[in-house]
Structure 1
Amino acid sequence: MIGADIEFANPEYFWLLLALPLAVLWYVLKRNRQGASLRIPSLKGFGRPGLLSRLQPALFALRLLALAAVITAMARPQTQDISTRTKTTKGIDIVMAIDVSSSMLARDLRPNRLSALKEVAAEFIRKRPNDRIGLVAYAGESYTKTPITSDKSIVLGALREITYGQLNDGTAIGMGLATSVNRLKESTAISKVIILLTDGVNNAGFIEPQTAADLALEYGIKTYTIGLGTNGNALSPIGYNPDGSFRYGMRQVEIDEELLTDIATATGGEYFRATDNEKLEAIYEEINKLEKTEVEEFKYYRYEEKFRPWVYLAGALLLLEWGLRFTVFRSFI
């Protein structure tokens, strides 16, 4: 009748159970004093007390059990069912601007920069279930791969499709940033964020990075910038083989960290440098912590009272005691 999931709304009533041992003591003392005493020289000729006489205290035991059941009912045993509902109180719209120039095929990250980025970015997207995310790809020019959406399957599918060769080669940081701003400028989200990643210097496009940063500032868009590449030289594409595949060789890693820092500082974001896979993962995890979506959780409690069976049990015990007292044990009252 009492399971592991049962709780008591008024457990303080169990203190009344301390009265039961006192009642037992009172009954024993009263029973010893209740009968008249008779002194005789011998018990020969008297039979032993009958079975009913010995069972008479069971009537008192039934009353005690009934009282214990009433006390348990007063403690209000109940089960509790909890349901939750979450409400996003602060949504974040995020655009990830990804450099897809040929230098992103450098192998200083495993297996190369672009593949490592896509793997880490996919994990970042999965950890943002309450936000809308869009993708912008840029090289010598830029385009929107997917507008901001809450459908993470669409975003993840678009991320997998991003490859080198879809745009003219080059690094148009200003174009990538400006396209990202264009995707967010009409957003009504409380917080708007761009995560711009590049592994080079601005050498293409007709929009200056500083101009794009000013636009981001005007529309209240925070920009986090990431410079991707090891320190020193990296095994990078330096030409083409006769079959059209890339020929690799060591090339100096050049990242305009001053520009990326200025963009981030001007818009209220931060600049990060990722020199390997582990550092890249740590950066996206840090951004994930910095840009937290506020989620309000509502809990609904439904209680189901379980005191009625105890009341019924107490009533049944008292009824049984009353019936036995005026039938089987009538001659002993």
Structure 2
Amino acid sequence: MLTNITFANPEFFWLLLLLPLAVLWYFYKRREQVASLKMPTIKGFSGSGFLPRLKPFLFVLRLLALAAIITAMARPQTEDISTRTTTTKGIDIVMAIDVSSSMLARDLKPNRLAALKEVAGDFIKERPNDRIGLVAYAGEAYTKTPITSDKAIVLSALREITYGELNDGTAIGMGLATAVNRLKESKAVSKIIILLTDGVNNSGFIEPQTAADLAIEYGIKTYTIGLGSNGNALTPIAYNADGSFRYGMSKVEIDEPLLKDIAKVTGGKYFRATDNDKLEAIYEEINKLEKTDIEEFKYFRYEEKFRSWVLLAGGLLLLEWVLRNTVFRSFI
């Protein structure tokens, strides 16, 4: 009866302290309630039976009835809770990813592009309430996935990003401008670009500063990430006869001043990822910086359970009255 039960007025349980007092009072007054008769012998009453000794049972029934009434006064009830969440601040995010040949460098494991795809995938999974799009760029840029709330589509498109889809090069301005174009019509409260590159701008017909100005005009914050270890890295430098890459040590060149300036003027932040752990930490920090506000509504439905306790108390009192006026009538 008490499974998953809460009490609206638990203060009434203090009245249960009266029950021990009632028991003490009962035993104190018991002798005064029973008449005494002095006789020289009780042999004639030896067969009177066990029933008179059960008289205190009536008092027990009355105490149980009182306890049930007190429980009913405490208003036992079951509680059913349903929740509904609403997103009060939506964020639209476009991830602009460099897919030039240098992204196959092996200073990150197994290479820069593969490491990025793994970390970016985890980032996408942790943004269930936001819309996300993908832009890939090398010597030029294109939209891999427009902004969408369907994370399965975004994750599938991310896995499909490979080197060789575009002419080689690093068109940072084109990548940023394409991302801005995907977000400029967005009605979201917050619009974010995460631009990642491992090189310097050497391709495309849009200057990075021009693309940054477009981001400012449309109120788009840009986080920039420079990817690559300090010094030299094992990087594709030529093709073998079978078409595979020939690797060699090459100097890591990242236009950090440019990336810092883009982040600063758009209200974002610049990061440098020199290994897998730092890359993962960067996306975790961005995830914390750009939080979506979630409002949760809870609905409570209560079902009163005091009626069963009232009926129980009534049944106990009725039983006590019936026994008092039938079975125990001769002994009262």
**TM-score category by the smaller chain?**
over 0.9
| 1:326 equivalent in structure 2 | 325
DSSP-derived class of the 1:164 partner: coil
Q: Does 1:177 align with 2:164?
A: no
Q: Over residues 186-234 of structure 1, what are the superposed CA-to-partner deviations in whole Å (9 max), with x where a residue is unaligned?
A: 0000000000000000000010000100110111000000000000000
Q: Does 1:152 align with 2:165?
A: no
DSSP-derived class of the 2:82 partner: strand
| 1:125 equivalent in structure 2 | 124
Q: Does 1:296 align with 2:298?
A: no
| 1:232 equivalent in structure 2 | 231
| 2:92 equivalent in structure 1 | 93
Shift in Å at residue 35 of structure 1?
Answer: 2.9
Matching residue's letter, 1:51: F
Q: Does 1:113 align with 2:112?
A: yes
- State the Cα RMSD in Å: 1.2
Distance 1:306 1:133 in 2: 49
DSSP-derived class of the 1:90 partner: coil
DSSP-derived class of the 2:88 partner: strand
| 1:59 equivalent in structure 2 | 58
Spell out the pairing of 1:182-193 with structure 2 (5 A cutoff): 182-193=181-192
What is the TM-score when the length of structure 2 is the normalising length? 0.97
Matching residue's letter, 1:15: W
Q: Does 1:31 align with 2:36?
A: no
Distance 2:166 2:37 in 1: 118
| 2:2 equivalent in structure 1 | 2
Q: Does 1:285 align with 2:284?
A: yes
Shift in Å at residue 46 of structure 1?
Answer: 4.4
Shift in Å at residue 36 of structure 1?
Answer: 3.4
Matching residue's letter, 1:237: P
Shift in Å at residue 42 of structure 1?
Answer: 4.7
Shift in Å at residue 330 of structure 1?
Answer: 1.4
In structure 1, list runs of 5 or more residues that go unmatched.
none
| 1:267 equivalent in structure 2 | 266
Distance 1:173 1:46 in 2: 113
Shift in Å at residue 48 of structure 1?
Answer: 6.8
| 1:312 equivalent in structure 2 | 311
Shift in Å at residue 38 of structure 1?
Answer: 3.7
| 1:22 equivalent in structure 2 | 21
Matching residue's letter, 2:58: L
Distance 1:312 1:166 in 2: 78
| 1:218 equivalent in structure 2 | 217
Shift in Å at residue 50 of structure 1?
Answer: 3.4
Q: Does 1:249 align with 2:245?
A: no
Shift in Å at residue 26 of structure 1?
Answer: 1.8
Distance 2:214 2:193 in 1: 12
Q: Over residues 249-279 of structure 1, what are the superposed CA-to-partner deviations in whole Å (9 max), with x where a residue is unaligned?
A: 0000000000000000000000000000000
In structure 2, list runs of 5 or more residues that go unmatched.
none
Q: Does 1:103 align with 2:102?
A: yes
Shift in Å at residue 58 of structure 1?
Answer: 0.9
Distance 1:89 1:44 in 2: 89
Shift in Å at residue 245 of structure 1?
Answer: 1.0
DSSP-derived class of the 2:258 partner: helix
Matching residue's letter, 1:229: G
Equivalent pairs: percent with the same residue? Answer: 81
Distance 1:29 1:242 in 2: 110
